[in-house]
Chain A
Amino acid sequence: MKTIMTGILAGAALALTISAASAQAPRSTLDQVKARGVLNCGSNTGLAGFGVPDAQGNWSGLDVDYCRAIAAAIFDDPSKVKFIPLTAQARFTALQSGEVDILVRNSTWTMTRDTTLGIAFLATNYYDGQGFMVRKSLGVASALKLEGAQVCTQQGTTTELNLADFFRKNNLKYTPVTFATADETRSAYEAGRCDAFTTDASGLYSERLKLSRPDEHIVLPEVISKEPLASAVRANGDSQWANIVKWTHYAMLNAEELGVTRANLAQSAQSNNPEIRRLLGVEGKLGEGIGLTNDWAARIIRHVGNYSESFERNVGASSPLKISRGVNALWSNGGLQYAPPIR
């Protein structure tokens, strides 16, 4: 009997050791990413201009560039990113559970999400607002004329909530038809299941390109909500990681503001302007303060470019979407994009 008791006790001791080991404090996210050699980036399953893989599996888009910029700052190599496509439903759970290190997936920054999901929103890389798309043949020129309409939308989004608010506020009746993914939503709208299709305005332009006859559809003028699309990380007190994510975006904005581009990076490094010299790490040791090298911002600009370059390439004039900067212009040009100074 003695041997049995000893055996059970030994087993219990072993069990306790294992659980004690698993309860140890985790390493910082930056260390994990460095050890892994690749950044896990939660991305859209396919939204042209923001995050979409091409036929060869190469990802591109404004959100994608954000992740590439972080990889460039850490590894000096923008290809060290693994893009993990997430549906609207799966995205926050994937971030919470640690499946991704960062979520840049046109996700709206709201108070509920910021305070109750165990995640923290950091920097708005695109200011958006929700709109409606309808068939021209419907003869509707304003969202206020959508009384009795059936509206296709994606479930589990702020879009779904704003839609309910908008019709309630204007005392209009409507019927929502919700789908799990953007593709299902769009194809149902295209099949005539709904009178209107609603999502963020940028998404409407992007989805319209995928319709068989884009010209037969118009985007209504009303913008019914504020949709700051922002990057998010786990709210686990890892402020170093939060700083890297936040300041990557700010570095791209500051670079635009100071006129530093991919093309003139080498000359800019010779500049006398102390702001540029600090940004590019010629002076000061700001990069080391966030666990990176001092040329972290120079790496970002070399591989990805400044915010304007990324914007124009993915959603602006040099892209099929042709979205104007609008509220996403720099504050100095009357827009909302404003970065704290690097000093």
Chain B
Amino acid sequence: MQAAPETAKGSPWYDPKIRGYVYQALLISVVVYVGYAMVSNVSQNLARQRIPFGIDFWDTQAGFDINQALFPYTARSSYGDAFWVGLLNTLLVAAFGIIFATVLGFLIGIARLSRNWIVAKAAMVYVEVIRNLPLLLQLLFWYKAVLEPLPRPRDSIAIPGGALLNNRGLYVPEPVFGAGAGLIGAAFLLAVFGSIAFYIWAKRQQAASGRIYPIGWVSFGALIGLPALAYVVTGGPVSFNYPAMGGLNVRGGITVYPEFIALLLGLTTYTAGFIAEVVRAGILAVSKGQWEAADSLGLPYTRTLSNVVIPQALRVIIPPLTSNYLNLTKNSSLAVVIGYPDLAQVFLGTVLNQTGRAIEIVGITMAVYLTISLLTSAFMNYYNQRMALVER
């Protein structure tokens, strides 16, 4: 063993290890102090102004109504219920937005690489226009675009199938389930699981024998056919509550409010512009040799795309796609300007104002958005790991 000559010199200040600890300790004390200063400053100021602190308002009666609620909510419900209404509305628009934006984004991203000049240029114009205008402006545009051309309730547009459309929203028939309707649900679930099982089986068969099964058609047929069969067998237990004009507005049915439609349109088209670029970048990242190899095997263009290029492109696409999903969810809080009752509008807006508990409510809202984002992120990381190149 040989003694380290540096430490032998004496001064511990020159020991990189000790120095490292000192810097760490300093950093920790600064962080702790800043945290302490914030908390003590807030509590002192709150006490001086006699502002109560805590979430005891949670169970207090809210006293205001919300138009779109996914569970029964009235003015007699609590502020806590209002929070859940807002959160569910945020998740609803974010979920639909993510699905539609992904589909539209993939289509446009692929279209940008199309060999058809017009399709490629149209996709390019879309991406450039959408990406370069502020989302707030687009939301206001969509809200106006939804509200202005639609007629007043008395002159509702009748859509075949019993739905009505006017400037108060889209009213669709509400299914009313009678006895035996459970069987239809069961048939649908069976179809879902059956389709998944068939998908796995077909993929294994393909891997083993190279034979390709029509997964899409089989699943589609099962999903429609089985419930339809159950409907006929049980003697048609489902009736519909059709919307109809009554009094000042349309009554009955399920209402899809214009604010939801406008917000969904705005978020979908905006995010699709970004996803399109991500998809294009991902496809271009797949080396040309892969295309040529598929070509030389005689695979048609669509199959090359879906079976050779996109699976490889996904590895590049998923991480930035996650960011876009997170952005979409967070951007849904711009709903405030068009009156869609999402978490920000209901909780950060109305509840904060009625209770005056700014610190608590802003804190809770931040925690909620953070949780949603981290969960989305965690799921996408899991998916990314599954899709990542398996190195052997």
> In the complex, which of the residues A18, A155, A163, A235 has the most CB atoms of chain B within 10 Å of its own CB atom?
A155
B354 near A146: Cβ-Cβ < 8 Å:
no
A-B contact count (CB 8 A): 131
**Which one, A116, A149, A192, contacts B248 given CB within 8 A?**
A149
Q: Are A92 and B353 also in contact (CB < 8 A) when A161-B64, A179-B339 are? A: yes
Q: Does B128 contact A (CB under 8 A)?
A: no
Segment 165-203 of A: residues with Cβ below 8 Å from B: 165, 168, 174-180, 184, 188, 191-193, 195
Cβ–Cβ < 8 Å partners of B63 in chain A: 161, 164-165
Q: Would you call B248 and A147 a contact (CB within 8 A)?
A: yes
Q: Is A89 in contact with chain B by the CB < 8 A criterion? A: yes
- Distance between B292 CB and nearest chain A CB, rounded to angstroms: 55
Query: In whole angstroms, how far apart are the Cα atoms of A105 and B62 in the complex?
Result: 24
Provide the bound-state CA to CA distance between A22 and B345, in Å: 35
Provide the B37-79 mask, 1 if CB < 8 A to any CB of A, else 0.
Answer: 1001100101011111000000000011111000000010000
The 8 A CB mask of A110-130 against B (1 = contact, 0 = none) is 001100111000000000000
Contacts known (A19-B37, A147-B248, A193-B258); A118 close to B51, Cβ less than 8 A: yes
List CB contacts (< 8 Å) of B233-259 with chain A: 246-249, 251, 258-259
Q: Which 8 A-B pairs have the closest CB atoms?
A: A156-B353, A118-B51, A164-B75, A118-B49, A117-B356, A148-B247, A179-B339, A191-B147
Q: Are B358 and A188 within 8 A (Cβ)?
A: no
Q: Which of A8-16, A73-81, A217-225, A270-278 contacts B (4 or more CB under 8 A)?
A: A8-16
List A contacts of B29 (CB < 8 A): 8, 11-12
Contacts of B354 in A (CB 8 A): 112, 156, 161
B349, A156: Cβ atoms under 8 Å? yes
C-alpha spacing A83/B40, complex, angstroms: 31
- CB-defined contacts of B356 to chain A, threshold 8 Å: 92-93, 96, 113, 116-118
Interface residues as binary, B64-96 with A (CB distance below 8 Å gives 1, 0 otherwise): 111100000001000000000000000000000
Q: Is the CB of B339 within 8 A of A188?
A: yes
Contact of B349 among A23, A89, A113 (CB under 8 A): A89
A8 CA to B29 CA, complexed, in Å: 9
- The answer to the question of A55 belonging to the interface, with a C-beta cut-off of 8 Å to chain B, is no
Q: Which residues 69-97 of A have a CB within 8 angstroms of B?
A: 88-89, 92-93, 96
Q: How far is the CA of A160 from the CA of B345 in the complex (A)?
A: 14
Q: Roughly how many angstroms separate A138 CA and B152 CA in the complex, as a whole number? A: 11
